[in-house]
Amino acid sequence: METKKRLSEDNVSSAEGQFDVASAADRRMPASLRNMGNDEIKILSKKIVRKVDLVVLPTIGILYILNYIDRQNLAAAKLQGITKDLHMSTEQFATAVSILYVGYLPFQIPSNLLITKMSRPGMYICAAVAIWGCISACTAAAKTYGQLLAVRAILGATEAVFFPGAIYYLSSWYTKVELGKRIAGLYIAQQVGNAFGGLFAAAILQLDGVHNIAGWQWLFIIEGSATVGIGVVCACIMPEFPHNSRFLSQLERDLAVWRIESEAGAAEGTENESVLKGFTKALSDPKLILLILANMLSQVQGSIANYFPTLVDSLGFSSTISLLLTAPPYVLAGGVYYVIMFYSDRKNTVYPIILVCIAISVIMYIIPMTTMNVGARYFAMIMLPFASVGPQLLLYKTINLHLARPVSKRAAASALVNAIGSTSNIWASYLYYAGPHFYAAFGTLMGSGILLGVVVTVYRWLVLRENERLDSGEPEQIAKAIKGGVTEEMVELKWRYEMY
């Protein structure tokens, strides 16, 4: 009964920029804050969130747009003849798409462990942006299929820094009632990259033949060069962690650290846990296996982005019109992502939202397999980007709140889930053949969606069982919960798994 009551209280909406000052009062409050009243602290907390939103979110968002444009522009280049110029078969193009993940996956884990020990994470991320921009531009110089594979593999290794690092970085600044919408902001930026990437590609590809350079080559040159320049500019803007940021006053830094510490038991920059120990703790947490599997099944559905221009092209329009038609679905997805995460943060829930997304996506996968009606097929393509990728936002929020401490464990868990989960993009690239129905692709995506619902339900059962152990007050049960991934400090602070 007590567990149900607590879970109900967890789902009460929380005001952004606020936290329970009274319950946090005895949790190592900095001396600079002790003479401030609750109202003053709440006002200052809101001010900090506004500052971080104005500096951190736009910068990270712009970089993610570049990340996705540089990763997905190969799909646009296919419509302008890269496969013909480099004499590639359909299977070879699929390999060119998937080989990016051969470099992308193994470098995520060491990169995310390394970032926990850096005092300037923003500089590290931006340096990686500038490097991958150079490599992306070099794609234009590829003259053979083998050279394209080499460039794509190196591009994946440099891009490995960004996404898990950005998720970890955001979770260092925002509390549980704020983090969801910020992760949604990243995915909205992704959809902006997808939407306007197609529009930019359509414009750039009109340069085909200028100075004897093919349109697809201009695409890589222009977009890669822009990434380098913007990455350098953002390096001058990106702040550090809350405890050593330069754009906050000392009082604001103290409160920024305490906000995170009050909620999770410790804050970035205040723990001395070794990288190796945090990595070991992540591997020993049984929840991690389920989250990796869930993300893998979700990433299978997300693979649709790699071939979205090809899917739209199957409607029978010209290559330019097809690129233009890729924009509306991504614009819609960006808006839906914000609504999803706003509701998730407001109600402190993710499980029912994941199931709704799965239900929509499964229905949408059936449509292109069963009809050639252009209107019905395009409607499915409009719905699929948000429905198939939506669960990923909620899973990343779960990772950063359910495997929060120590920080090295959270960084390792985030990278492991993203790295291993992304392996599905390697083999999923080979599913998109035999258009226009793409039975293999949509059939596999539909099955993975159903299985994702099963895995998430099992995960929900697991965390509710752990909450019951923590609520029991029995040393033996609490010891089991600690073995399952909760720290003793979190137990003392009455921390619980939420959102499920």
CA distance 89 to 91: 5
* 107 contacts 161 by C-beta, under 8 angstroms: yes
Could you give the angle at the alpha carbon of 409 between the alpha carbons of 415 and 120, nearest 5°? 70
Long-range contacts of 162-165 (CB under 8 A, 24+ apart): 162/63, 162/64, 162/67, 162/125, 162/128, 162/129, 163/64, 163/67, 163/108, 163/418, 164/108, 164/111, 164/112, 164/411, 164/414, 164/415, 164/418, 164/419, 165/111, 165/112, 165/115, 165/121, 165/124, 165/125
What's the confidence (pLDDT) of residue 268? 47
Could you give the angle at the alpha carbon of 123 between the alpha carbons of 120 and 129, nearest 5°? 145
The owner of tokens 């991504």 is 330
Of 23, 9, 14, the C-alpha closest to 49 is 14
> What H or E segment, with its residue span, contains residue 320?
helix 319-325
Tokens of residue 1, six digits: 């009964």
CA distance 127 to 238: 11
CA distance 279 to 259: 25
What's the confidence (pLDDT) of residue 275? 61
Tokens of residue 368, six digits: 């292109």
What's the confidence (pLDDT) of residue 452? 94
Which sign, positive or negative, has the C-alpha torsion 168, 169, 173, 179? negative
- The residue count for the chain: 500
For 189, other C-beta atoms within 10 Å of its C-beta total 24
What's the confidence (pLDDT) of residue 90? 82
Of 457, 448, 303, 266, the C-alpha closest to 385 is 303
Please list the pLDDT of the chain residue by residue as tens digits (500 residues).
444 444 444 443 345 555 555 554 445 677 777 788 888 888 888 888 888 888 888 888 888 888 877 777 787 788 778 888 899 888 888 888 888 888 887 888 788 778 877 777 888 889 999 999 999 999 999 999 999 999 999 998 898 888 888 887 887 888 777 777 787 777 777 777 666 766 777 788 788 878 888 888 898 999 899 999 999 998 888 887 787 778 888 888 888 888 877 765 454 445 555 666 667 777 777 788 888 899 889 888 877 766 777 778 778 777 678 777 877 888 888 888 888 888 888 888 999 999 999 999 999 999 989 988 888 988 988 898 889 888 988 888 888 777 766 666 667 777 777 778 778 877 887 787 777 888 888 899 999 999 999 999 999 998 899 888 888 888 888 888 877 777 777 777 777 888 88
In degrees and rounded to multiples of 5, residue 426 shows phi and psi of -70, -55
The owner of tokens 């909760």 is 486
Q: Which residue type does 20 have?
A: D
CA distance 189 to 167: 13
The owner of tokens 């990772």 is 399
Direct distance between the N- and C-terminal alpha carbons of the chain, in angstroms, rounded to an integer = 16
The verdict on domain 2-12+41-492 having CATH code 1.20.1250.20 is yes
* 377 contacts 280 by C-beta, under 8 angstroms: no
CA distance 288 to 93: 33
What's the confidence (pLDDT) of residue 181? 78
What's the confidence (pLDDT) of residue 5? 45
CA distance 215 to 442: 31
